[in-house]
Amino acid sequence: MAVKRVYHFCNAKYGIENLERQRLKVATIMDLNDPFEFSCNHQSDKAVRRTFKELKKTVSENLGLICFSAKFNNPVQWAHYAEKHQGLCLGFDVSESDLMQVKYRSSKIRLTDTDLNDPMAFKRWMEAYASTKFVHWRYEQEHRLFVDISNLNRSELIFQEINDRIKLRQVIVGSRSRITRQQVQDALRGFDHAVETFKVRPAFSTFNMVRNKDKTMWL
């Protein structure tokens, strides 16, 4: 089974809490930060808009998702999703078959009759529907793990257990974080396998965040 290393950014408080409770929050589709989520098709026709509004509602009642990135070194993601570099980035090994890679486009997809009437074409279109975003989101290099929430109480927060399906491998501490080495070690006590930990810093010659090899910079 092929696995892929992917990364999940979080703020300091919930990052430590995620480790202590060995879980990740599952996002609901209606609460995602992009209003074009699950709306990647051309919808100039009113009937089409109505149909896909209902489709999005139906999908959101049955599926949640956890968003990962292919890289941990992008400073923009640290700024947006890890509390302005004060939070954490968690590295996981996830089966490639469980992940859906997001594709980025500059224009919306146009549906054809074949897309709607041919089962295989419709399956491909539904995959695109769940994994297509505007090109300006490309910096995220996003991969999605979908979670069945159809039998859960959606009035409460939903969590996915950190287990063999999403195997924790790394805890990466932001360059401005006040999280100590001891805090991370304490939070990891419940895990029965080794987890790599390190702090990042801005690179000297590129616009990337890189591992800080000076261990004195992380108390």
Please tell me the predicted confidence (pLDDT) of residue 116: 66
Residue 114 is predicted with a pLDDT of: 62
Do residues 60 and 151 touch, judged by C-beta distance below 8 A? no
Longest dimension (CA), the chain: 62
Which pTM does this prediction carry?
0.93
38 vs 202: CA distance, rounded Å: 35
| Mean pLDDT by groups of 10 residues along the chain of 219 residues | 96 98 96 90 80 88 97 98 98 98 93 70 83 97 97 87 97 98 98 97 98 93
Q: Taking Cα atoms as reference points, which of 105, 40, 94, 106 lies closest to residue 67? A: 94
User: Do the Cβ atoms of 159 and 19 come closer than 8 Å?
Assistant: no
**Three-class SS state of 127:** helix
Q: CA torsion sign, 75 to 79 to 85 to 87? A: negative
Q: Which residues pair with 103 in a beta bridge?
A: 132
CB 125, CB 141: distance < 8 Å:
no
Determine the pLDDT at residue 186. 98
